[in-house]
A and B are shown apart, each in its own frame.
Chain A
Amino acid sequence: DAGVIQSPRHEVTEMGQEVTLRCKPISGHDYLFWYRQTMMRGLELLIYFNNNVPIDDSGMPEDRFSAKMPNASFSTLKIQPSEPRDSAVYFCASSLWAGTGNYEQYFGPGTRLTVT
């Protein structure tokens, strides 16, 4: 299994530019999560999907952030316009519902975003 795939691995952009992060979950998984990790705030859940439908987006920091999952094998997280405080590592994770207690999440390698 290829695992969760994220692209790009590194992104450097200027303030005000649009940034799109991409994620391919593990085939067959029905949950997809987007997280942001910073030294100051730790690991934050931004949004998660079940069967391509957004379930909880309460962690999305502002309207500048949006996420989509057009099909079971692809999701995007977009920031428009980007700001220096958006600099962080963004992780995508996926999971398969397999009964109560089986909530293991499989994380991708992350995208390190730097906004100058």
Chain B
Amino acid sequence: GDSVTQMEGPVTLSEEAFLTINCTYTATGYPSLFWYVQYPGEGLQLLLKATKADDKGSNKGFEATYRKETTSFHLEKGSVQVSDSAVYFCALTGNTGGFKTIFGAGTRLFVKA
């Protein structure tokens, strides 16, 4: 079945450092790919998405490119801020029927001032 694997955390960075959180997936066909973010005490919220190969999703300085050849959707940000501290989830929704979204395990990011 479909699955998502993302790098284990926690990831600890200093403010203004470069961020990469790796995400790979297994799915049939052409799924849609997402990054969600969860701040402490809140529900998940969509950060960015890409719906077809080579699409780049971007939002709030974060970017991720849908790479079908490597089945990857790595999250990047050039300069992180303390306010980016949160848990990040990679997710996919397949197009083989239904509306089920598969979430990765989440990666906790700590940014130090």
Interface residues, chain A, with chain B CB atoms under 8 Å away: 4, 31, 33, 42-43, 45, 48, 50, 55-56, 91, 93, 95, 97, 100-110
Contacts and interface: CB of A to CB of B under 8 A. Distances in A.
A103 B43 contact: no
A113 B76 CA distance: 34
A101 B51 CA distance: 5
A55 B43 CA distance: 23
Given A91-B44, A101-B52, A107-B45, A45 B100 contact: yes
A97 B32 CA distance: 14
Interface residues of B, number: 21
Interface string B78-113: 000000000001000101001111010110000000
A105 B105 contact: no
Interface in B32-89: 32, 34, 41-46, 49, 51-52, 89
B43 to A, nearest CB: 3
A56 B100 contact: yes
A108 B38 CA distance: 11
B78 to A, nearest CB: 25
Contacts of B49: 101, 104
Nearest to A45: B100
A96 to B, nearest CB: 11
B92 to A, nearest CB: 9
Contacts of B93: 103
Given A43-B89, A43-B106, A93 B99 contact: no
Report the 5 A-B pairs with minimum CB-CB distance, sorted nearest first: A107-B43, A101-B51, A103-B93, A107-B44, A101-B32
A46 B44 CA distance: 16
Contacts of B101: 33, 45, 103, 105
Given A42-B106, A101-B32, A103-B32, A110 B99 contact: no
